[in-house]
Each structure stands twice: as C-alpha cells, then as structure tokens.
C-alpha cells in the first residue's frame, strides 16, 4: 500500500467514524460497517469518492442499483417516518449517507434479499410507483 493510499484509508476510517458519531451510532455499528466496507472495494472506492468530493461516483452497483438508488429508496421510508412524526433524519444528512452506504454493503452480501426489499418494502404507496424498476 502506498503512503497516499494509506493516508486515504485513514481519512476514510475517520470519516466513517465521524458519520457514525453524527448519526448517533455506536462503536459496534462503526466496527461492523467498516469491516463490511473493507470487504467491498468498489463500495469503498465510492465511499472515498464521496468523502473527497461530497458527490457520488455511482460506479459501484448491486444488482444494477447504486448508492443513490438506495438513498432514494430510503428517502421513501424517511417520508413515511415524517408522516408518523419520526423525523430524526430530517436534518441529518450524515445519517442518510451513512445508512445508504451501510445498506449497500449489506446488499452486496445478500443481493437477492436486498432487491426483494427494494421492490416490495416502501414507505409510501402510489399507483405506478414501481414503474421502471
């Protein structure tokens, strides 16, 4: 590992820890997330790209879905939580980003279960919702 790569990895670990802290997550959550992230180099690359640019590369995919697709799916759930006055993510962008990357690492380990959830578990329902999936 080059010195530059090593520095990027240290920065990424610190960034992940910061996201966890701002999201109110535990050290245990961080440890599990970081371990999964290290196993999936393409998702790790996406995470580092986001850390450095605050933008999404959208190169890493699980069953054709990117981290942005996951965020959109999670926002649907978030909107349902707003309807139930459970809006703890309303002002917490860090939490939304962290959970999208966390979900993506989990999805990479169980793609069929993930796709099933994305296609069947939604926060709100409306006619034609799944058009294009």
DSSP annotation of 131 reads T
DSSP annotation of 15 reads H
Closest CA to 66 of 36, 44, 46: 46
Statement: residue 4 has pLDDT above 80: yes
- Phi and psi at residue 127, to the nearest 5°: -65, 130
pLDDT band with cut points at 50, 70 and 90 for residue 83: very low
What's the rounded mean pLDDT across residues 71-80?
72
Q: Are 117 and 65 in contact (CB under 8 A)?
A: no
Tens-digit pLDDT profile for residues 41-51: 999 999 999 99
Give 125 or 36, the one with higher predicted confidence: 36
Supply the DSSP string of 27-85, one letter for each residue: HHHHHHHHHHHHH-HHHHHHHHHHHHHSS------BTTB-HHHHHHHHHHHHHHHHHTT
Statement: residue 132 has pLDDT above 90: no
Stated pTM of the model: 0.81
Tens-digit pLDDT profile for residues 89-123: 556 788 889 999 999 999 999 998 888 888 877 65
Number of Cβ within 10 Å of residue 99's Cβ equals 21
- pLDDT value for 54: 95
CA distance 84 to 72: 19
Beta bridge partners of 65: 62
């Amino acid at each position: 590992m080059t010195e530059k790569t090593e520095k990027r990895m240290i920065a990424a670990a610190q960034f992940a820890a910061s996201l966890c802290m701002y999201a109110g997550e535990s050290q245990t959550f961080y440890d599990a997330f970081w371990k999964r992230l290290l196993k999936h180099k393409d998702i790790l690359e996406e995470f580092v790209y986001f850390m450095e640019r605050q933008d999404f590369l959208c190169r890493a995919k699980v069953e054709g879905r990117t981290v942005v697709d996951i965020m959109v799916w999670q926002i649907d759930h978030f909107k349902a939580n707003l309807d139930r006055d459970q809006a703890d993510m309303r002002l917490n962008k860090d939490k939304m980003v962290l959970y999208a990357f966390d979900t993506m690492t989990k999805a990479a380990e169980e793609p069929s279960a993930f796709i099933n959830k994305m296609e069947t578990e939604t926060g709100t329902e409306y006619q034609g919702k799944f058009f294009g999936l």
